[in-house]
């Protein structure tokens, strides 16, 4: 579920998704409805000769703008890309976030709306790229069953025992100590003010904050979605991802009982980098050398000949 921008220690803070990020390449702004009718905002990157399309579901506390350059890169290679904000974030944020109702069930409805909009664009081959929580909730989206493939990057349940020992305590103090207290007092989580990504609705922040005491698979829609027949799923993560450790990916993989699951750990050195972390694969320029690899995970036949 992780995706909120980082922990207080210096190593994790370096993963913050908005630090030093160039302005996103422009797409065409779009508005569309979630499955329950809530209006969402995003950007549509479509080449004139698109042969495939992908919806990019963002991490928690990360604006869809963060994925804009990667989406534009895909479009240059004839793969149309939809980026969007979950409700409560970015262009899907209400005028007043305090006490705004949103939890993971609402975000699943948002994802279903994005996939329905993507299907309506008339491109037959479609896939989902979910980052962190955007990937974690993806199996619960009913429209995910219509896709060719799900690629879930850094997607895990945010269970503190899966984190590396060196960051376990400070991260747990922030997410399971500070977060619920601040969110309860303000009625939302002030991520911007704390330099921890975007602000979050109360319900979403509490889903994260209460993870040590509440298994996310207690939610019927998540348990049911993970057990249902799905297209092939790839669980991918940078090898130095503090959140998506091997134990965290294995915890997700064992729940995906209705599909074929492939695990892909990406070593930073494999793409000429020293580190990538939880956000680096989508950062430009840090992650750009890895984009052909991500493309191959989405559509192997379209990107198989491209060299990194």
Residues 6+ apart with CB under 8 A from 71: 25, 27, 43, 45, 56, 81, 82, 83
Give the lowest-confidence range in 10-24, 63-77, 129-143, 251-265: 10-24
Query: pTM, whole model, 2 decimals?
Result: 0.92
- Give the C-alpha separation, 284 to 69, whole Å: 7
Tell whether the model's pLDDT for residue 54 goes beyond 50: yes
pLDDT in the model for residue 1: 57
Averaged over 216-243, what is the pLDDT? 96
What is the per-residue pLDDT across 105-128, written as a single tens digit (0 to 9) for each?
A: 999 999 999 999 999 999 999 999
pLDDT in the model for residue 213: 87
pLDDT in the model for residue 12: 34
Cis peptide before 94 (omega within 30 of 0): no
pLDDT in the model for residue 26: 73
Residues 77, 117, 197, 296, Cα dihedral to 10°: -30
Tell whether the model's pLDDT for residue 273 goes beyond 80: yes
pLDDT in the model for residue 2: 60
What is the per-residue pLDDT across 75-105, written as a single tens digit (0 to 9) for each?
A: 999 999 999 999 999 999 999 999 899 999 9
121: exposed, middle or buried (C-beta count within 10 Å: 0-12, 13-18, 19+)? Answer: middle
Tell whether the model's pLDDT for residue 32 goes beyond 70: yes
pLDDT in the model for residue 49: 95
What is the per-residue pLDDT across 179-213, written as a single tens digit (0 to 9) for each?
A: 999 999 999 999 999 999 999 999 999 998 998 88
């Amino acid at each position: 579920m992780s995706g909120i921008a980082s922990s207080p220690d210096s190593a994790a803070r370096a993963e913050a998704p908005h630090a030093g990020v160039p302005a996103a390449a422009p797409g065409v702004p779009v508005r569309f409805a979630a499955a329950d009718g809530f209006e969402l905002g995003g950007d549509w990157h479509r080449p004139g000769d698109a042969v495939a399309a992908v919806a990019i579901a963002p991490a928690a506390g990360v604006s869809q703008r963060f994925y804009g350059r990667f989406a534009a890169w895909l479009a240059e290679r004839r793969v149309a890309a939809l980026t969007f904000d979950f409700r409560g974030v970015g262009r899907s944020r209400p005028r007043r976030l305090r006490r705004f109702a949103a939890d993971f069930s609402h975000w699943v409805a948002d994802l279903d709306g994005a996939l329905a909009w993507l299907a309506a664009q008339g491109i037959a081959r479609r896939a989902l790229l979910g980052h962190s929580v955007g990937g974690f909730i993806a199996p619960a989206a009913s429209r995910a069953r219509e896709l060719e493939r799900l690629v879930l990057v850094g997607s895990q349940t945010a269970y503190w025992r899966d984190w590396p020992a060196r960051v376990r305590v400070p991260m747990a103090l922030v997410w399971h100590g500070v977060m619920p207290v601040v969110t309860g007092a303000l009625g939302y989580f002030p991520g911007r003010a704390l330099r921890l990504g975007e602000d979050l609705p109360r319900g979403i922040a509490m889903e994260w904050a209460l993870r040590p005491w509440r298994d996310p698979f207690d939610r019927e829609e998540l348990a049911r979605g993970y057990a249902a027949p799905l297209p092939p799923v790839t669980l991918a993560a940078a090898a130095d991802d503090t959140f998506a450790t091997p134990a965290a990916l294995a915890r997700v993989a064992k729940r995906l009982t209705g599909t074929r699951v492939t695990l892909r750990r990406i070593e930073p050195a494999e793409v000429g980098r020293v580190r990538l972390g939880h956000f680096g694969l989508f950062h430009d320029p840090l992650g750009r050398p890895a984009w052909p690899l991500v493309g191959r995970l989405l559509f192997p036949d379209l990107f198989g000949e491209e060299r990194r």
